[in-house]
């Protein structure tokens, strides 16, 4: 398996533009997480899906952020409009729920820069 | 608010030395405590994990010590090597719910 695949790896955009980050989880995993990592705030959970259904989106900073998981093999995180303070590394992670607690596998991340 | 508090923020150790990172938690419902290792430009990757029914788990040079009554757990890296230089995150999880991560510790191993 290729692991969790995120695209793009790097994104530079101008303030006010829409940004869409993409994630393909590991096949067979039924939990998906979006995290944001910054020096100031560390790893923050933005949203968590189980079987394609959003379970907890309390970490989504504001209405400018939205996430979807239309099927088990694809998820998007959208920021509209983007702001410089959204600059961070965004990680997607997936996990299998079977067998109790199991390892969460992270993608390589998308480094977002909003100028 | 962080549910898992991690310290120190950074540490420097000589090659061959011992690195110790500490974490504390409040939620007694947590039942899974993993440590993740992250290299620059990469996503975090699971290093070692423990459940609260054991007090210690060792995998190679990495050991987790767990103190349930104190609600604390720690990672010990024995015989630290330059390749261990990375950021380490402790985390805690209840059931199949979300992982709560500590703030991270940057470990630098000097040759």
Mean pLDDT over A43-57 rounds to 92
Given a cut of 70, is residue B61 above it in pLDDT?
yes
Q: Strand pairing of A74-79 and A65-71?
A: antiparallel
Q: Testing the interface with B: which of A2, A43, A46, A89 to mutate, by most B Cβ within 10 A?
A: A43
Q: Could you report the per-residue pLDDT of B11-56, keeping only the tens digit for each? A: 999 999 999 999 999 999 898 999 999 999 999 999 999 998 999 9
SS3 A84: helix
Q: Tell me the chain B residues in contact with residue A107 when contact means C-beta distances shorter than 8 Å.
A: 43
Confidence class for position A18, pLDDT limits 50, 70, 90? very high
Instruction: List the single residue in B with minimal CA-CA distance to A56.
Output: B98
Q: Using the beta-carbon criterion (under 8 Å), do A101 and B46 form an inter-chain contact?
A: no
Is the predicted pLDDT of residue B90 greater than 80, yes or no?
A: yes
DSSP symbol at B84: G
> Which pLDDT belongs to residue B3?
87
A104 contacts B96? CB cut-off 8 A: no
Q: What are phi and psi of A76, to 5 degrees?
A: -130, 150
Give how far the C-alpha of residue B1 lies from the chain's centroid of Cα atoms, to the nearest Å.
19
CA atoms of A50 and A25, how far apart (whole Å): 12
In the A/B pair of chains, how many CB contacts fall below 8 A?
A: 53
Q: How far apart are CA B59 and CA B108, in angstroms?
A: 20
Higher pLDDT, A90 or A39: A90
| Contact between residue A112 and residue B49 where contact means Cβ atoms under 8 Å apart | no
- Structure tokens belonging to residue A84: 């410089």
**Considering chain B, what is the average pLDDT of its residues?**
93
Tell me the per-residue pLDDT of A92-106, one tens digit each, with 9 for 90 and over: 999 986 656 678 899
Three-state DSSP at B82 gives helix
């Amino acid at each position: 398996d290729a692991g969790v695949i995120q695209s793009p790896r790097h994104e530079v955009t101008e303030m006010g533009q829409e940004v869409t980050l993409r994630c393909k989880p590991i096949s067979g995993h039924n939990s998906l997480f979006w995290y944001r990592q910054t020096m100031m705030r560390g790893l923050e959970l933005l949203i968590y899906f189980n079987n394609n259904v959003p379970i907890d989106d309390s970490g989504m900073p504001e209405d400018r952020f939205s996430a979807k998981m239309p099927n088990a093999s694809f998820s998007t995180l959208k920021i509209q409009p983007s702001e410089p303070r959204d600059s961070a590394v965004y990680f997607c992670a997936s996990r299998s729920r079977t067998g109790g607690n199991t390892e969460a596998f992270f993608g390589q991340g998308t480094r977002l820069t909003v100028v | 608010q962080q549910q898992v508090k991690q310290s120190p923020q950074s540490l420097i150790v000589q090659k061959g030395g011992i690195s110790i990172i500490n974490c504390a938690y409040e939620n007694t419902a947590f039942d899974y405590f993993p440590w993740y290792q992250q290299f620059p430009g990469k996503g975090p990757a699971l290093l070692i994990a423990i459940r609260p029914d054991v007090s210690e788990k060792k995998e190679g040079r990495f050991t987790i010590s767990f103190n349930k009554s104190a609600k604390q757990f720690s990672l010990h890296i024995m015989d630290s090597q330059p390749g261990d230089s990375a950021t380490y995150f402790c985390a805690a999880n209840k059931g199949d719910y979300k992982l709560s991560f500590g703030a991270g510790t940057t470990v630098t191993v000097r040759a």
